[in-house]
Amino acid sequence: MANLKEVRVRIASVVSTQQITKAMKMVSASKLRRAQGAIQQIRPYAEGLQNMVGRLVSGLDGSTAEMPLTTVRDVKRVGIVLLTSDKGLCGGFNSNLIKTARRFIQDLPADQQATLIPVGRKGVDFFKRSGLPQDLRFKDLMLKIRYQATAEMAAELSKAFIQGEYDQVVVVYSEFKNPVVQYFRVMPWLPLQAEPSSASSAGAGPGVADYLYEPGREEIVRDLLPFSLAIDLHKAMLDTQASEHGARMTAMDKATENAGDLLRELRLQYNRARQAAITTEITEIVGGAAALAG
């Protein structure tokens, strides 16, 4: 009977766990719908803005003296913005982001110094004892993603780049494809460079429209560059958030299925143990009756 009691306790524990994972799956699914809508809305805007800024930058004829955010320098100090979640229970989502960042750091030349800029507590916790310099000013921004806070972060990092604290800034994030598939990317963020396709389309080739700029190309670029950088960073954060909810929903769905499989095994084990106990009791009763009759 002690064995039966132990199995009953395990069954109750697994049922309770299954209820929790099922609830977490439903919550993640609800959050995913909102996050997926947000990233689907910002992607066309961000891509259009990036193409426009790329065309404008490529048409500056190399005049970047007043465009410090586009200045390419010898890379000695690299800032790595690592976007992770603040909570766990999302499968290998955070570990894959951290692996991507570690791989990028390991591939840096020996004369380049990396500074980690974690956004999300999982990245902070992992690299806490790594000895890697960290800038922890933005670690809580993933708790509630707001464009205003992202723009302030982009402005501070841009200022640090202009002042020479960083010669290059990259963003490690997760690009959302669907709830099951995420792509872990390293996005060059600073200095901002024109895309090759944008540069080729900036020339006065046949079929390519030319524009008159007011007040002027350089003035427009100077105003658009900070805004474009903030939008790119905000899109990466929304991508990572949607990927987190998708990974958690998938992980909780799998955990719920595993709990169901374990419940079936435990109930089968319980029924077998109960039948064995009943058989033993019947055998003892029959044996006692035979002894009395004899």
Q: Which residues are known to be catalytic? A: 90
Beta-sheet strand order (sheet of 168-176): 113-119, 77-83, 168-176, 182-190
> Kind and range of the H or E element at 169?
strand 168-176
The secondary element (H helix, E strand) that includes residue 104 is helix 93-106
- Type of residue at 63: S
How buried is residue 263: exposed, middle or buried, by Cβ count under 10 Å (0-12/13-18/19+)? middle
Q: Is 145 in contact with 126 (CB distance < 8 Å)?
A: no
Residue 235 burial (C-beta neighbours within 10 Å; 0-12, 13-18, 19+): buried
The residue written with tokens 């799956």 in the block is: 25
Residues in the chain: 294
Task: Name which of 141, 29, 169, 4 is nearest 83 in CA terms.
Answer: 141
In this structure, the number of other CB atoms found within 10 A of the CB of residue 140 comes to 14
Measure the CA angle with vertex 226, ends 224 and 227; round to 5°.
Answer: 60
Q: How far apart are CA 229 and CA 240, in angstroms?
A: 17
